[in-house]
Amino acid sequence: MLLKIPRSLALLALIIPLFTNAAPVQEVIAQNPELSRFNAITTRFPAIIRDLTVSGGTLLAPTNDAVSSFIASAGFTDVSSITEAAARDLLSYHVLPLALRSTDLSRQGGALADTALLDDQLANLQGSPNVVFASAFGSTGQEIAPSGLKIYSGIGIPSNVTTSDVVFDDGYMHVIDRVLNFPRPCTETAEAASLTRLLRALQRANLTETVDTTPKFTCFAPTDAAFERAGIDVEALSPQQLTDALMYHSIVGDVGYSTAFEDGREYQTLLGVNVTVHKRAGQLFINDVAVLQGNVVMSNGVAHVLDGVLSPPTGTTTTARGSGTSGAPRVTVTSIPPPQSTRSPSSAITAEVSRARPILISILMTVVSALSL
Q: What is the largest CA-CA distance in the chain?
A: 89
- CA dist 101 and 107 (Å) reads 11
Q: Is the pLDDT of residue 84 over 70?
A: yes
What value does the mean pLDDT take over residues 344-362?
Answer: 40
What value does the mean pLDDT take over residues 2-31?
Answer: 62
Q: How far is CA 160 from CA 10, 38, 127, 262, 295, in A?
A: 36, 16, 29, 27, 16
pLDDT at 314: 72
For 86, phi then psi, to 5°, come to -65, -40
- Other beta carbons less than 10 A from residue 27's beta carbon: 11
- CA dist 270 and 276 (Å) reads 14
For residue range 257-286, list pLDDT tens digits in order: 999 999 999 999 999 999 999 999 999 999
Q: Is the pLDDT of residue 105 over 60?
A: yes
Q: How far is CA 23 from CA 60, 167, 190, 273, 303, in A?
A: 17, 8, 42, 54, 39
pLDDT band (50, 70, 90) for residue 312: confident
Mean pLDDT of the chain: 85
Which H, E and C letters describe 117-169, residue by residue?
CCCCCCCCCCCCCCEEEEECCCCCCCCCCCCCCEEECCCCCCEEEEEEEEEEC
The CA radius of gyration of the chain, in Å to the nearest whole number, is 23
What value does the mean pLDDT take over residues 133-140?
Answer: 98
What secondary structure letter does DSSP report for 210? Answer: H
Do 174 and 106 touch, CB atoms closer than 8 A?
no
Looking at the chain, the whole-number percentage of residues with pLDDT higher than 70 is 79
Looking at the chain, the whole-number percentage of residues with pLDDT higher than 90 is 77
